[in-house]
């Protein structure tokens, strides 16, 4: 394979690692397999990452950075705190083209990884996303469009847990997943609960975008 600039090679190794980890799992993948899939020798991997563990942690960190960038982009033009929160609810990084494969790796790793440093990286990743979501919930509460009955921190964890479950089921390709016979989607229910004052008032009205 042609010699690439260091930053391009590192990005290529991370992309390849996501595919290998998705197929073999974190524990099952080896640096030899990662090197073969990338079309490089193992020393090339070690030139950029000290170990498979460091490569995986870099993948987790990169996914977190990309998720925050995605959310910042989607929310940038939202005119109100309620519109920002509604867009955030609709933007599940597990369904985005750039995040689908990486998050399948990350979610699987949560259940299989015993290495403390990797577990800490996964926890740090979730805590970073949680902090972003909690800030948006707090902003909406201060604007008076979300009830203060529950703390922003608890609401943020609820949204993360729903998003993980939704993303995991979406990955199974279930045809009836996430919506009912009327076409109403799960994110509309969440929006109704958080921004419309409950789900017992019939179909939700279109909100400002």
Whether the CB-CB separation of 75 and 57 falls below 8 Å is answered with no
Q: Where are the domains positioned within the chain?
A: 1-49, 53-177
Residue 76 reports pLDDT greater than 50 = yes
CATH number, domain 1-49, options 3.65.10.10, 3.60.15.10, 3.30.70.120, 1.10.10.60? 1.10.10.60
The predicted-structure confidence for 82-122, as pLDDT tens digits, reads as follows: 999 999 999 999 988 778 889 988 888 888 778 899 999 99
The predicted-structure confidence for 147-180, as pLDDT tens digits, reads as follows: 999 999 999 999 999 999 888 888 777 777 888 8
The model's confidence at residue 131, banded by pLDDT at 50, 70 and 90, is very high
Question: What pLDDT sits at residue 209?
Answer: 39
CATH number of the domain at 53-177, please? 1.10.357.10
The C-alpha atoms of residue 35 and residue 85 are separated, in whole angstroms, by: 42
Q: Say what the alpha-carbon torsion angle 60, 66, 70, 71 is, to the nearest 10 degrees.
A: 50
The model's confidence at residue 2, banded by pLDDT at 50, 70 and 90, is low
Of 49 and 198, which is predicted with more confidence?
49
Give the angle 8-104-40 at the CA atoms, nearest 5°: 30
Question: What pLDDT sits at residue 6?
Answer: 82
Q: Is the dihedral of CA 153, 159, 163, 165 positive or negative?
A: positive
Whether the CB-CB separation of 130 and 158 falls below 8 Å is answered with no
Q: Is 101 exposed, middle or buried (0-12, 13-18, 19+ CB in 10 A)?
A: middle
């Amino acid at each position: 394979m042609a010699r690439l600039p260091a930053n391009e090679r590192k990005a290529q190794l991370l992309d390849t690692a996501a595919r290998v980890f998705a197929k073999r799992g974190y524990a099952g993948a080896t640096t030899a397999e990662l090197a073969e899939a990338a079309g490089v020798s193992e020393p090339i991997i070690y030139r950029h990452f000290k170990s498979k563990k460091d490569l995986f942690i870099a993948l987790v960190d990169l996914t977190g950075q990309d998720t925050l960038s995605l959310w910042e982009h989607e929310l940038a033009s939202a005119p109100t705190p309620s519109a920002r929160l509604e867009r955030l609810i609709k933007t599940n990084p597990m369904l985005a083209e750039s995040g689908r494969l990486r998050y399948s790796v990350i979610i699987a790793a949560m259940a299989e990884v015993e290495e403390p440093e990797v577990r800490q990286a996964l926890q740090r990743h979730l805590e970073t996303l949680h902090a972003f979501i909690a800030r948006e919930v707090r902003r909406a509460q201060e604007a008076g469009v979300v009830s203060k009955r529950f703390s922003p921190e608890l609401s943020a964890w609820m949204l993360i847990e729903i998003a993980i479950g939704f993303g995991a089921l979406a990955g199974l390709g279930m045809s009836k997943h996430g919506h009912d016979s009327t076409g109403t989607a799960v994110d509309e229910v969440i929006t109704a609960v958080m921004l419309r004052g409950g789900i017992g008032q019939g179909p939700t009205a279109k909100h400002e975008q």
